[in-house]
Structure 1
Amino acid sequence: MTKPVIGFIGVGLMGHGMAKNIVEKGYPLIVMGHRNRKPVENLISLGAKEAASARELAQACDILHICVTGTPQVEALVRGPEGILASGKAGLTVIDCSTSDPVSTLQLAQEFSQAGMHFADAPLSRTPKEAELGTLDTMVGADEETFARIKPVLECWAGVINHLGEVGLGHKMKLINNFIAMGYASLYSEALAIARKSGLSPEQVNAVIAPSRMANGFYETFMKWTLEQDENAHKFSISNAHKDMRYLSSMANAAGALNPMQAVIKNNFAAMEAIGEGDRYVPMLADFVAAQSGLTLSADKND
């Protein structure tokens, strides 16, 4: 049986590993040009081909992944004269693996349907390490027929696949997931600052928390910055965290749900981005919160 041709837009930190696993598992792969040529050239060396635009890519493939920063980037790739919709490729299935605003996701799903195309949202959980290993988690919103079509491809790069139901539910769940994660980041950062102001070191805090019921995978990677200055342990930027929390605020407003704690969490990341530190990674929020209490950076063990 001939395998479908897979397209991929966004071969960055997460997308490169996902695309690598697709082509290594025998699927024909076409990627769209990327400003960072290194991952593109690597995929081409593995057998992938390259398209110059989203329209050209859509015309050449059967299932197309989008893995970009967020909703504005997704919408720009879908619409316009060089966008996916302009390809006119009836039967094309598009999978949005970005963390996007569900309000936009539902609108795009309608536009794809009107064009005779299919749409699914399959945002990601875990890190670039798992992307390279092909063991990401994904939460999928798609009708049953679309999910059955894309599941073998998702299995190339995901170890855990949760089909939640209709289009949009994947992005909604991803925002809930990131709300919990960024809540952890905010809580850990404030707890560390209070501890340090009270005479406890980060090492002492970790000695108690790490072996306890309160530890988890997020805690482990988050603390690697404070304890070891390992900036690559948790590569998720402050600006992305802030973006996701803005999307969650929009989702809560649309649902008529209260979000007092989420508003405070969002503002932590908004404040850090506002002073020009949006490119730093989420564990570095601990330094930002510490500085607000007059503490030096976590790298300085002699406050």
Structure 2
Amino acid sequence: MPHTNDVGIPSRQAPEPVGYIGLGNMGAPMATRLLEWSGGLVVCDVRDDAVAPFLDKGARVGTPAELAASCSVVSVTVLDDAQVREVVAGPEGLLVNARDGLVIAVHSTIADSTAVELAQLCAERGVGFVDAPVSGGAPGAADGNLATMVGASEADFEVVKPTFELWAGLVVHAGAPGAGTRMKLARNLLHFVSFTATAEAARLAEAAGLSVADLGNVVRHTDAITGGAGAIMYRDTAEPVEPGDFWEGVFGHVRGLGEKDLTLALGLGGRLGVDLPLAAHSLTGLGDALGVGPGPLATEYEENHR
């Protein structure tokens, strides 16, 4: 049973078993890392072939009810909101037989409202709920180097963090339940919007007689050095930069480089007959996005395209 230390955070005398439900492309490599957990691992999946490798390595298998009764933390990686609801609160779900102090951690990307709703439902039963979606894909899962964004109370975060660190290279406490999902949605917005921009860049490169694959190699190489879009996310706010702020000079410099390069790319696209709507939008919006307002090249472009 958990006890409370002098700062009010639950802790345990010795590691207890942890559980994992959902052993698919992401769940299986994450659960594999938990085989290192000294308290033991209990797994659950509807497919016998998914469970078998874990039994061979010393894990136990159980139903959701059995995991809820015996484990301190149960991680869940299933397909969608409906499956998460079924696993957590369904007639044969975790809450049916949940032990005192259990913390349920959902790694599926679900609606933030679902996370908040389930957290409230769990709290009524004396169970902790954590939404902890992950980023890094199958390669990150295989390497044990995922990023996880955790929505949890302080107490529940302290309970799950040691297990998460076995499969994650970065564990961020985003805030209360629901916050982890909101951060994942913001992260994925950037991810998929960038795919549309990538297609635009690829069309320009191809029209210029260049290899799209070679361009991709350059992008991956340089993003690994510069940090890509994350390189401008050092401020604590997205509000405009105050005059005289340190970032005014930094982002003013970035704006100047960006507006110059976007102007040149739009010129190339015009000569090749390639429409670049995202480039045009970025040229006129880059300065505001950086918080320093448009520069002269963006202003000139807007004036010429009214």
What's the TM-score, normalizing by structure 1?
Answer: 0.65
Q: Determine which of 34, 44, 50 is the counterpart of 1:32.
A: 44
Residues 209 and 215 in structure 1, CA contact (< 8 A), matched pair in contact too: no
Q: Determine which of 206, 211, 216 is the counterpart of 1:196.
A: 206
Tell me how large the CA RMSD over aligned residues is: 2.5
Letter in 2 for 1:44: L
User: What displacement does 1:31 show?
Assistant: 0.7
Determine if the alignment matches structure 1 residue 91 to structure 2 residue 112: no
User: What displacement does 1:207 show?
Assistant: 6.7
Q: Distance in 2 between matches of 1:2 and 1:164?
A: 27
Letter in 1 for 2:51: V
Instruction: Give the ranges of 4+ consecutive aligned residues of structure 1 lying more than 6 Å apart after TM superposition.
Output: 213-219
Q: What SS does the aligned partner of 1:171 have?
A: helix
Distance 1:197 1:31, change over 3 A: same
Q: Distance in 1 between matches of 2:26 and 2:139?
A: 8
Distance 1:103 1:7, change over 3 A: same
Determine if the alignment matches structure 1 residue 142 to structure 2 residue 128: no
User: What displacement does 1:196 show?
Assistant: 2.6
Q: After the TM superposition, which residues 254-273 of structure 1 pair with which residues of structure 2 at under 5 Å, given as runs? A: none
What's the TM-score, normalizing by structure 2?
Answer: 0.65
**Which residue matches 1:251?**
none
Q: Which is worse superposed, 130-139 or 187-196?
A: 187-196
**Which residue matches 1:18?**
30
Q: Distance in 1 between matches of 2:98 and 2:217?
A: 58
User: What displacement does 1:143 show?
Assistant: 0.8
Residues 14 and 128 in structure 1, CA contact (< 8 A), matched pair in contact too: yes
User: What displacement does 1:157 show?
Assistant: 1.0
Q: Determine which of 176, 179, 187 is the counterpart of 1:169.
A: 179
Letter in 2 for 1:20: T
Q: After the TM superposition, which residues 55-134 of structure 1 pair with which residues of structure 2 at under 5 Å, given as runs? A: 55-134=65-144
**Which residue matches 1:179?**
189
Residues 121 and 140 in structure 1, CA contact (< 8 A), matched pair in contact too: yes
Q: Which is worse superposed, 106-115 or 197-206?
A: 197-206
Q: Determine which of 50, 56, 78 is the counterpart of 2:61.
A: 50
User: What displacement does 1:204 show?
Assistant: 5.4
Identical amino acids, percent of aligned pairs: 33
Distance 1:93 1:210, change over 3 A: closer
What is the total number of aligned residue pairs between the two structures?
218
Q: What SS does the aligned partner of 1:191 have?
A: helix
Q: Distance in 2 between matches of 1:31 and 1:193?
A: 46
Runs of 5+ unmatched residues, structure 1: 220-292, 294-303
Runs of 5+ unmatched residues, structure 2: 1-12, 230-274, 276-306
**Which residue matches 1:250?**
none
User: What displacement does 1:154 show?
Assistant: 1.1
- Greater RCO, CA 8 A, separation 6+: 1
Deviations 1:216-247 (A, max 9, x none): 7889xxxxxxxxxxxxxxxxxxxxxxxxxxxx
**Which residue matches 1:235?**
none
Q: Distance in 2 between matches of 1:7 and 1:208?
A: 41
Distance 1:154 1:213, change over 3 A: closer
Deviations 1:46-81 (A, max 9, x none): 111111x32232122221001112212101112221
Q: What SS does the aligned partner of 1:156 have?
A: coil
Q: Determine which of 12, 21, 41 is the counterpart of 2:52.
A: 41
User: Which of structures 1 and 2 has the bigger CA Rg?
Assistant: 2
**Which residue matches 1:230?**
none
